[in-house]
Chain A
Amino acid sequence: MLRGSLFSLKGPKVLCIAKNYFEHAIEMGAKDVPPNPVMFQKPLSSIISEGQNIIIPKGVEVHHEIELAFFLSKQGKNIKPENAYEYISGYCLALDLTGRNIQAEAKKNSWPWDVSKGYDTFLPLSSFIPTSQVPNPYELELELKINGITKQKGQTRSMHYKIHDILSYISQVMTLNEGDLILTGTPSGVGPVRKGDVLESFLTSSGNVILQSRFIAE
């Protein structure tokens, strides 16, 4: 596959939706959620799984952002909202780690976000859970604890652009492929991650933890 042929480049990607929870949009200085979904890519090289550590780059103020993410089950272009849920194979918990100082400089200069969002280890992912175990993605709770203390807690019903809005919007711009991962936004409470921190993420449905992950920052 990886032979430099242009066709080896047609593979999965990771897309994220910014400012998709009202209170997070406000804490980031906006007056409201954006009028359209705001989308950016994380590079695939930023992914880590449990057992791998988050690395804080020198001079970078890293912030945590816990998110519900979903995987595409098949290719889609111009997906209709009423068909959206056919395109999902399952979910995972993601941390959209962000170099907040780098991002602030990028925003000020109108530069892209790719460096601030894309350092190695800036996308810790939990294991996968199929849609059969998540009948309603909008009745879940996201919680992030650092060193045992809750830092972020939010209900997915507060997600502004729902999954069908996101799929419909993004698939008009880009063809989505099987295996693509889309992060749906973070609730309020973003803050710094420091060396030695233990980050625990939880996805809860009706009081039961259905997914969790644990990462250490070094």
Chain B
Amino acid sequence: MDSHILRLLNSNKIFGLAWNWKGGAKLKPFPVIFQKAVSSIIPSGGTVIIPKSETVLHELELACFISKKAKNVPKSEAMDYIQGYCLALDMTSPSILTRHKEHGLSWDIGKGYDTFLPLSQYFPAKCISNPSNIDLELTINNQIRQKGNTKDLVFGIPEIIEYLSNIFTLNEGDLILTGTPPGASQVNPNDSLHGKMMENGKIIAELSAKIQSGL
């Protein structure tokens, strides 16, 4: 097989779910899926750049890494396919998304700018005993903006894996962002974001990002 194609086949992808929190305005009967560009990743402590003249929101999420090739996985077996987790900020530009949605276009630009995916350190699955009972909290400049528990995901990790793997073959190392609690709000230059995830009061992971205006 061609080496260029082989390289593509051995690389990873990132999926996210829209509107996947209970109590949200737009509940759908099935998951609404988008992709993040792998080039949008920055590590914790990095700087998110707001594209010139655009608005950007923060969306704190629990993200899971796939452990092995997954295709047509029933939800009862889905957790066998998770190797670990991280905390993620699915940074999103609603101003860009709105312009694209008005023309029925896809979301890749509004979701895919460089720096639009700060990720915490990876931690293995055994660090969490119940991914359906994880508290997420996001503060901006020490003020709480988002707060929720993953019990309120509309589609939990098993349903997500089942749905995704019916359409797409998932590979070891693929990342899935599971959804964000209410409270996503606009970020401004010089804002300092801090996210944390806790289980039964114990902090499992933290994630920070600074905001800067683009040129």
Interface residues, chain A, CB within 8 Å of chain B? 1-6, 8-15, 18, 34, 38-41, 43-47, 49, 57, 71, 77, 89-90, 92, 106-108, 110-115, 117-120, 125, 127-128, 173-177, 179, 181
Question: How far, in angstroms, from A9 to B84 measured CA to CA in the complex?
Answer: 14
On chain A, the residues within 8 Å of B105 by CB distance are: 18, 38, 40, 113
Known: A9-B173, A173-B114. A114 touches B35 (CB 8 A): yes
Contact A127 B2 (CB under 8 A): yes
Known: A39-B108, A114-B35. A11 touches B4 (CB 8 A): no
Question: How far, in angstroms, from A40 to B33 measured CA to CA in the complex?
Answer: 13
Contact B5 A47 (CB under 8 A): yes
In the complex, B203 has a CB within 8 A of chain A: no
Closest to A113 in B: B106
Question: How far, in angstroms, from A18 to B103 measured CA to CA in the complex?
Answer: 12
On chain B, the residues within 8 Å of A119 by CB distance are: 167-168
Contact A174 B119 (CB under 8 A): no
On chain B, the residues within 8 Å of A57 by CB distance are: 167
Contact A4 B84 (CB under 8 A): yes
Contact A2 B10 (CB under 8 A): yes
Known: A6-B122, A12-B8, A38-B105. A114 touches B2 (CB 8 A): no
On chain A, the residues within 8 Å of B122 by CB distance are: 4-6
Residues of B in contact, count (CB < 8 Å): 56
Which of B37-45, B132-140, B144-152, B183-191 touches A?
B37-45
Give min CB distance, A35 to chain B, whole Å: 10
Contact B5 A110 (CB under 8 A): no
On chain A, the residues within 8 Å of B14 by CB distance are: 9
- Given A9-B173, A9-B175, 16 new contacts (CB under 8 A): A2-B172, A6-B119, A6-B121, A13-B37, A18-B105, A45-B169, A47-B5, A92-B2, A106-B104, A106-B106, A112-B18, A112-B33, A112-B34, A119-B167, A125-B2, A174-B39
12 contacts between A and B (CB under 8 A): A2-B171, A4-B65, A6-B119, A38-B105, A40-B106, A108-B104, A114-B33, A120-B167, A125-B5, A128-B5, A175-B39, A181-B8
Known: A71-B4, A173-B113. A120 touches B169 (CB 8 A): yes
Contact B171 A179 (CB under 8 A): no
Contact A11 B168 (CB under 8 A): no
Task: Kindly identify which residue among B8, B12, B86, B113 contacts A2, using a CB–CB cutoff of 8 Å.
Answer: B12
Question: How far, in angstroms, from A112 to B37 measured CA to CA in the complex?
Answer: 14
Contact B4 A128 (CB under 8 A): yes
Contact A111 B32 (CB under 8 A): yes
On chain B, the residues within 8 Å of A12 by CB distance are: 7-8, 11
In the complex, B112 has a CB within 8 A of chain A: yes
Cβ-closest 7 pairs across A and B: A107-B104, A11-B11, A2-B173, A110-B101, A113-B106, A40-B106, A112-B34
| Highest count of chain B CB atoms <10 Å: which of A18, A45, A57, A107 | A45
Closest to A118 in B: B168
Give min CB distance, B164 to chain A, whole Å: 10
Question: How far, in angstroms, from A110 to B107 measured CA to CA in the complex?
Answer: 9
Contact A173 B172 (CB under 8 A): no
In the complex, B25 has a CB within 8 A of chain A: no
